[in-house]
Amino acid sequence: MGGEGAGAGGGGLGRADKSVLAALYARSLGGAGRGAEGPCAAAGIARLEKAGLAGPPGAGPGEAAPTELGRASLTVVLAGGVFDIIHPGHIHTLGAARRLGDVLVAVVATDATALRMKKRSPLHAQEQRREMVASLVMVDACLVGDEEDMFRTVARVRPEVVALGYDQAHQEKHIVDGCRRVGLDARVARLQSPVPGISSSAIEGEYGDAIHGT
């Protein structure tokens, strides 16, 4: 079908091939790469290689990755948080973030960062939180953030959009300035939630120390 092909330079990239390219990028960051395997994906990878959007040439489905040209054809969205108690607010916010681009990369705070932000240790260790967030259908890849400088992770992902939750304390200017410091011109999107009264802090406030087993 004509609409499924990968045009030269990514200008005519069809929806199916863009999905494959997005899956390849997510996998390059350690994501599951859903959509990068199987006969249809193999055909898509071949078209992407021919258009110079994936490589190396002749790579199998398990080896291919976006070229710089291929990466430039994707809109990558980054969203971060502690994600200790997954609730409807997270689901709505991450779903809205995913709709802003082709790939959603979520970043979970380290245990030390979570302690500093929340003034108490998280219920779940950082790798557990990463696995939980990675299992969400709208998340293409999930990383544990940098302990000292969040913008090191931003530089690794190179997002076009940084999505902030409705209740996150980060100021847009701080994000923009930090992105520029690592050579990125990312747009900041402040997302709203249809359930703003639901938050991890509110849940902890409702259940108190019992939720921490103390």
State residue 143 phi and psi, 5-degree precision.
Answer: -120, 155
Query: Any idea what DSSP says for residue 147?
Result: S
Higher pLDDT, 162 or 37: 162
Q: In this predicted structure, what is the pLDDT of residue 166?
A: 76
Paired strand residues for 106: 79, 142
pLDDT band at 98 (very low <50, low <70, confident <90, very high): very high
Which H or E run contains 91?
Answer: helix 88-98
pLDDT tens-place string over residues 114-170: 898 878 888 899 999 999 999 999 999 999 999 899 999 999 999 999 999 877 767
Q: Average pLDDT for residues 73-94, to the nearest whole number? A: 92
Q: In this predicted structure, what is the pLDDT of residue 93?
A: 92
- Domains of the chain, first to last: 2-69 (no CATH), 76-212 (3.40.50.620)
Using DSSP, state whether 151 is helix, strand or coil: helix
Using DSSP, state whether 190 is helix, strand or coil: strand
pTM: 0.84
CB neighbourhood size of 120 (10 A): 12
How far is it, in rounded angstroms, from Cα 32 to Cα 29? 9
pLDDT band at 5 (very low <50, low <70, confident <90, very high): low
pLDDT tens-place string over residues 82-92: 998 888 889 99
Lowest mean pLDDT among 36-40, 110-114, 129-133, 179-183: 36-40
Lowest mean pLDDT among 1-5, 59-63, 188-192, 194-198: 1-5
